[in-house]
């Protein structure tokens, strides 16, 4: 007979709130060592069961995915921001949205996007001078916003780039741990909630301005259709509503730049703080006469994969059981919130030797074969795997290669790679690197 799931809770009413608030990432790393791969976590207003095991993640996302669904709480929490975009929608709405968004990521489109990625990355580096100190996270954000503006929205740039970056920061901070050991609803007028609502309004203004430009024809993109064009056409045909057009575009604007900027930041930061690995990548990217989407860059690809292992931008997935399931000998009832934590699994010594070390060689093909499939899942998995996965990986390898073909980025005494556990694990401050030419 299945037993009850063990709990991490230590205090009445507060549960594990104090430990989670004190250091959420460390909590996620340590809890499986103490409680095993399946455990319950409670904080005021929220309780969930964590599957810190690669095989159990595969069970929830693939093998028994019929027993799990996207957690409706994501729609409750992010609905005002993302509405019925692909990250938050369900059922027929999600199916319809994916049908309209998917063509933007077909292989033929990616080939065309690559030229934009290369050109924008070269433009970024041209402005850097020898010896200059740069905040690589800020630079990466500007770069990825520029790329998503051109490839997904069909405009040469988003004039309101600063507004979008600021709004993304305000949105992320709304979900950072606070001094109050419980979740506060959005209607509570905290400073973070007020900034969050203001940021949503600013994003709506930006997307509305882009849509007006596109509808007027002022920002046409020649013969190459983009996501914005496809969604506008679907809206005009009555296949999706104007609100759904807005929701998909806001989702793509945020998800299409934020997570890639974070991954690019950590990749460059880790290489800068590991000079031997940096030397390997620099030698590799400077060898070919020119870069193309098909250029073989095995050292670069492995460095990116290892950065995504250590600092997965989306560091946990959320599901909810639709019927009971027995996992690792425990009964998980129906309607239970389930967390699938990339952070815990990616940093587990069950799957990786010296798991906190930066070792790109872990991703050599023969070594990957020895690990369970879901010991590494920075883009999720199963039916709802990130639709932009190939786009993001192509953007990352071309951006890293283009930047390091021109400059060598070195660590400074101020260089820190310290993540903040908000919607993403974005750095909690500037990531300063020095430019060398």
pLDDT digits (tens, 9 = 90+) for 293-345: 999 999 999 999 999 999 999 999 999 999 999 999 999 999 999 999 999 99
Q: How confident is the model at residue 360 (pLDDT cuts 50, 70, 90)?
A: very high
Q: How confident is the model at residue 72 (pLDDT cuts 50, 70, 90)?
A: confident
Task: Judge contact between 334 and 75, C-beta under 8 A.
Answer: no
If one compares 226 and 277, the residue with the highest pLDDT of the two is 277
Q: Which of 73, 426, 429, 84 is nearest to 257 (CA)?
A: 426
State the pLDDT at residue 218: 52
At how many degrees (to 10) do helices 242-272 and 389-406 cross?
A: 40
Tokens (6 digits) for 222: 């020649």
Over 80: is that where the pLDDT of 122 sits? yes
Q: What percent of the chain has pLDDT over 70?
A: 94
State the pLDDT at residue 259: 94
| Mean pLDDT, residues 7-19 | 84
User: From CA 44, how far away is CA 247, in angstroms rounded?
Assistant: 30
Over 70: is that where the pLDDT of 225 sits? no
Phi, psi of 20 (to 5 degrees): -65, -45
In tens, the pLDDT along 379-422 reads 999 999 999 999 999 999 999 999 999 999 999 999 999 998 88
| Mean pLDDT, residues 242-253 | 88
Which of 45-54, 66-75, 212-221 has the least mean pLDDT? 212-221
Mean pLDDT of the chain: 89
Over 60: is that where the pLDDT of 179 sits? no
What is residue 148's three-state secondary structure?
A: helix
Fold of the domain spanning 73-316+389-436: Cytochrome p450 (1.10.630)
Q: Which of 168, 134, 319, 153 is nearest to 225 (CA)?
A: 153
Task: Judge contact between 136 and 200, C-beta under 8 A.
Answer: no
State the pLDDT at residue 180: 46
CA-to-CA separations, 335 to 92, 321, 323, 382, in angstroms, rounded: 21, 5, 7, 20
State the pLDDT at residue 221: 43
State the pLDDT at residue 222: 43
State the pLDDT at residue 141: 93
State the pLDDT at residue 352: 97
User: From CA 77, how far away is CA 270, in angstroms rounded?
Assistant: 33
Q: How confident is the model at residue 220 (pLDDT cuts 50, 70, 90)?
A: very low
Domain parsing of the chain, residue ranges: 73-316+389-436
Over 80: is that where the pLDDT of 158 sits? no
Over 50: is that where the pLDDT of 219 sits? no
- What is the chain's length? 437
State the pLDDT at residue 2: 63
User: From CA 84, how far away is CA 361, in angstroms rounded?
Assistant: 40
CA-to-CA separations, 160 to 105, 262, 377, in angstroms, rounded: 25, 20, 33
Q: Where would I find the H helices in 36-90?
A: 54-58, 72-82
| Mean pLDDT, residues 22-41 | 93
| Mean pLDDT, residues 33-39 | 95
């Amino acid at each position: 007979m299945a037993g009850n799931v063990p709990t991490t809770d230590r205090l009445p009413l507060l549960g594990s709130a104090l430990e989670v608030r004190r250091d959420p990432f460390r909590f996620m790393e340590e809890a499986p060592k103490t409680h095993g791969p399946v455990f319950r976590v409670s904080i005021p207003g929220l309780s969930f069961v964590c599957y810190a095991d690669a095989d159990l993640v595969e069970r929830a996302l693939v093998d028994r995915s019929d027993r799990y669904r996207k957690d409706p709480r994501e729609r409750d929490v992010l609905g005002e921001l993302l509405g019925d975009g692909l990250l938050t929608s369900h059922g027929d709405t999600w199916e319809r949205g994916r049908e309209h968004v998917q063509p933007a990521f077909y292989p033929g489109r990616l080939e065309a996007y690559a030229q934009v990625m290369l050109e924008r990355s070269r433009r970024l580096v041209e402005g850097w001078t020898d010896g200059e100190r740069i905040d690589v996270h800020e630079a990466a954000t500007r770069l990825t916003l520029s790329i998503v503006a051109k490839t997904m929205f069909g405009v040469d740039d988003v004039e309101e780039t600063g507004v979008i970056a600021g709004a993304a920061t305000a949105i992320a901070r709304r979900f950072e741990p606070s001094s109050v050991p419980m979740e506060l609803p959005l209607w509570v007028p905290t400073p973070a909630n007020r900034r969050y609502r203001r940021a949503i309004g600013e994003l709506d203004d930006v997307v509305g301005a882009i849509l007006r430009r596109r509808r007027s024809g002022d920002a046409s993109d020649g013969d190459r259709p983009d996501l914005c064009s496809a969604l506008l056409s679907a809206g005009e045909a009555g296949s999706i509503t104007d609100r759904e057009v807005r929701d998909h575009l806001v989702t793509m604007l945020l998800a299409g730049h934020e997570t890639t900027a974070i991954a690019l930041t950590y990749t460059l930061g880790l290489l800068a703080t590991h000079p031997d690995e940096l030397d390997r990548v620099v030698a590799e990217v400077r060898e070919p006469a020119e870069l193309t989407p098909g250029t073989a860059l095995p050292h670069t690809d492995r460095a990116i994969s290892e950065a995504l292992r250590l600092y997965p931008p989306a560091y946990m997935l959320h599901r909810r059981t639709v019927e009971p399931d027995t996992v690792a000998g425990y009964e998980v009832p129906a309607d239970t919130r389930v967390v699938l934590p990339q952070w815990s699994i990616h940093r587990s010594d069950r799957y990786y030797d010296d798991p906190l070390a930066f070792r790109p060689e872990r991703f050599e093909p023969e070594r990957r074969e020895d690990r369970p499939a879901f010991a590494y899942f920075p883009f999720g998995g199963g039916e709802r795997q990130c639709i932009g996965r190939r786009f993001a990986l192509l953007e990352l390898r071309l951006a890293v290669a283009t930047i390091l073909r021109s400059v060598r980025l070195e660590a400074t005494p101020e260089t820190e790679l310290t993540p903040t556990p908000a919607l993403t694990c974005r750095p909690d401050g500037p990531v300063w690197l020095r430019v060398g030419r």
